[in-house]
Structure 1
Amino acid sequence: MADGWQESRTSATPVAREDHVDELAHLVSAHPNTVDNRMRKPAGLTGYDPTRPDDATRLRMALLARDAEART
Protein backbone atom coordinates (compact mmCIF):
# COMPACT_ATOMS: atom_id res chain seq x y z
CA MET A 1 0.00 0.00 0.00
CA ALA A 2 2.36 2.60 -1.29
CA ASP A 3 0.06 5.57 -0.67
CA GLY A 4 0.34 5.29 3.10
CA TRP A 5 -2.02 4.81 5.97
CA GLN A 6 -5.12 6.29 4.29
CA GLU A 7 -5.09 3.59 1.64
CA SER A 8 -4.44 0.91 4.23
CA ARG A 9 -7.24 2.24 6.38
CA THR A 10 -9.71 1.98 3.50
CA SER A 11 -8.62 -1.52 2.60
CA ALA A 12 -8.62 -2.70 6.20
CA THR A 13 -12.24 -1.77 6.76
CA PRO A 14 -14.91 -4.41 6.25
CA VAL A 15 -15.49 -5.66 2.74
CA ALA A 16 -16.74 -2.91 0.47
CA ARG A 17 -19.41 -4.48 -1.65
CA GLU A 18 -20.45 -2.27 -4.52
CA ASP A 19 -23.80 -1.58 -2.88
CA HIS A 20 -22.08 -0.34 0.30
CA VAL A 21 -19.43 1.99 -1.08
CA ASP A 22 -21.28 5.06 0.23
CA GLU A 23 -21.31 3.63 3.76
CA LEU A 24 -17.62 2.78 3.61
CA ALA A 25 -16.83 6.24 2.22
CA HIS A 26 -18.62 7.81 5.17
CA LEU A 27 -16.80 5.49 7.60
CA VAL A 28 -13.34 6.50 6.32
CA SER A 29 -14.29 10.13 5.56
CA ALA A 30 -13.66 9.87 1.83
CA HIS A 31 -15.63 10.42 -1.37
CA PRO A 32 -17.23 7.25 -2.81
CA ASN A 33 -15.15 7.59 -5.99
CA THR A 34 -12.00 7.72 -3.87
CA VAL A 35 -13.05 4.53 -2.09
CA ASP A 36 -13.69 2.85 -5.45
CA ASN A 37 -10.21 3.77 -6.65
CA ARG A 38 -8.58 2.68 -3.39
CA MET A 39 -10.38 -0.65 -3.46
CA ARG A 40 -9.18 -1.36 -7.00
CA LYS A 41 -5.54 -0.59 -6.29
CA PRO A 42 -4.77 -3.61 -4.04
CA ALA A 43 -6.23 -5.93 -6.67
CA GLY A 44 -3.81 -4.54 -9.24
CA LEU A 45 -0.85 -4.77 -6.86
CA THR A 46 -1.54 -8.13 -5.22
CA GLY A 47 -4.03 -10.01 -7.38
CA TYR A 48 -6.44 -10.11 -4.41
CA ASP A 49 -9.73 -8.25 -4.84
CA PRO A 50 -10.88 -6.58 -1.59
CA THR A 51 -14.51 -6.74 -2.74
CA ARG A 52 -14.38 -10.56 -2.55
CA PRO A 53 -14.73 -11.83 1.02
CA ASP A 54 -11.93 -14.44 0.83
CA ASP A 55 -9.52 -11.99 -0.75
CA ALA A 56 -10.52 -9.24 1.68
CA THR A 57 -9.68 -11.56 4.57
CA ARG A 58 -6.25 -12.25 3.11
CA LEU A 59 -5.59 -8.55 2.62
CA ARG A 60 -6.73 -7.70 6.16
CA MET A 61 -4.49 -10.40 7.60
CA ALA A 62 -1.55 -9.04 5.59
CA LEU A 63 -2.22 -5.52 6.90
CA LEU A 64 -2.50 -6.80 10.48
CA ALA A 65 0.76 -8.72 10.11
CA ARG A 66 2.46 -5.64 8.69
CA ASP A 67 1.21 -3.52 11.58
CA ALA A 68 2.31 -6.13 14.14
CA GLU A 69 5.74 -6.32 12.53
CA ALA A 70 6.06 -2.53 12.63
CA ARG A 71 5.33 -2.52 16.38
CA THR A 72 8.14 -4.97 17.20
Structure 2
Amino acid sequence: MALYHSGIYASPELLKWFQNEYSKHTQTKLDMGKSCIRFKKADNIPLDLIADLCGKISVEEWIKIYENQIKR
Protein backbone atom coordinates (compact mmCIF):
# COMPACT_ATOMS: atom_id res chain seq x y z
CA MET A 1 0.00 0.00 0.00
CA ALA A 2 1.32 3.46 -0.80
CA LEU A 3 0.36 6.99 0.13
CA TYR A 4 1.35 9.88 -2.12
CA HIS A 5 1.77 13.35 -0.63
CA SER A 6 3.18 15.96 -2.98
CA GLY A 7 3.83 18.32 -0.08
CA ILE A 8 6.70 16.20 1.24
CA TYR A 9 8.28 16.35 -2.22
CA ALA A 10 7.85 20.10 -2.63
CA SER A 11 8.58 21.26 0.91
CA PRO A 12 11.94 20.27 2.44
CA GLU A 13 10.75 21.46 5.85
CA LEU A 14 7.69 19.22 5.72
CA LEU A 15 9.81 16.26 4.56
CA LYS A 16 12.25 16.73 7.44
CA TRP A 17 9.39 16.99 9.95
CA PHE A 18 7.81 13.79 8.61
CA GLN A 19 11.07 11.84 8.64
CA ASN A 20 11.77 12.91 12.24
CA GLU A 21 8.25 12.07 13.44
CA TYR A 22 7.90 8.73 11.68
CA SER A 23 10.04 6.73 14.10
CA LYS A 24 8.07 8.16 17.03
CA HIS A 25 4.85 6.63 15.68
CA THR A 26 5.87 3.18 14.44
CA GLN A 27 8.53 0.51 14.85
CA THR A 28 8.83 -0.13 11.10
CA LYS A 29 11.52 1.39 8.93
CA LEU A 30 10.45 4.32 6.77
CA ASP A 31 10.13 3.20 3.14
CA MET A 32 9.55 6.17 0.88
CA GLY A 33 10.35 7.68 -2.47
CA LYS A 34 10.14 11.35 -3.43
CA SER A 35 6.45 11.72 -2.64
CA CYS A 36 5.28 8.20 -1.79
CA ILE A 37 5.28 6.47 1.54
CA ARG A 38 5.07 2.68 1.24
CA PHE A 39 3.62 0.28 3.81
CA LYS A 40 3.89 -3.50 3.77
CA LYS A 41 0.98 -4.07 6.17
CA ALA A 42 -2.09 -1.92 6.72
CA ASP A 43 -1.75 -2.50 10.47
CA ASN A 44 1.60 -0.66 10.42
CA ILE A 45 0.23 2.59 9.00
CA PRO A 46 0.63 5.36 11.62
CA LEU A 47 -2.79 6.91 11.03
CA ASP A 48 -2.31 9.71 13.58
CA LEU A 49 0.91 10.77 11.88
CA ILE A 50 -0.73 10.67 8.44
CA ALA A 51 -3.57 12.83 9.79
CA ASP A 52 -1.01 15.31 11.16
CA LEU A 53 0.79 15.31 7.81
CA CYS A 54 -2.42 16.09 5.94
CA GLY A 55 -3.12 19.00 8.26
CA LYS A 56 0.35 20.51 7.93
CA ILE A 57 -0.29 22.16 4.58
CA SER A 58 -3.42 23.98 3.49
CA VAL A 59 -4.76 24.14 -0.05
CA GLU A 60 -3.71 27.78 -0.25
CA GLU A 61 -0.17 26.94 0.89
CA TRP A 62 0.06 24.11 -1.65
CA ILE A 63 -1.07 26.40 -4.46
CA LYS A 64 1.56 28.97 -3.47
CA ILE A 65 4.31 26.31 -3.40
CA TYR A 66 3.14 24.92 -6.74
CA GLU A 67 2.97 28.32 -8.43
CA ASN A 68 6.45 29.22 -7.16
CA GLN A 69 7.85 26.07 -8.78
CA ILE A 70 6.31 26.63 -12.24
CA LYS A 71 8.84 27.80 -14.79
CA ARG A 72 7.29 30.50 -16.93
- TM-score norm. by structure 2 comes to 0.31
Query: Which structure shows the bigger proportion of residues in helix conformation?
Result: 1
Query: Which structure shows the bigger proportion of residues in strand conformation?
Result: 2
- Which structure carries more relative contact order (alpha carbon 8 Å, separation 6+)? 2
Larger Rg: 2
- TM-score norm. by structure 1 comes to 0.31
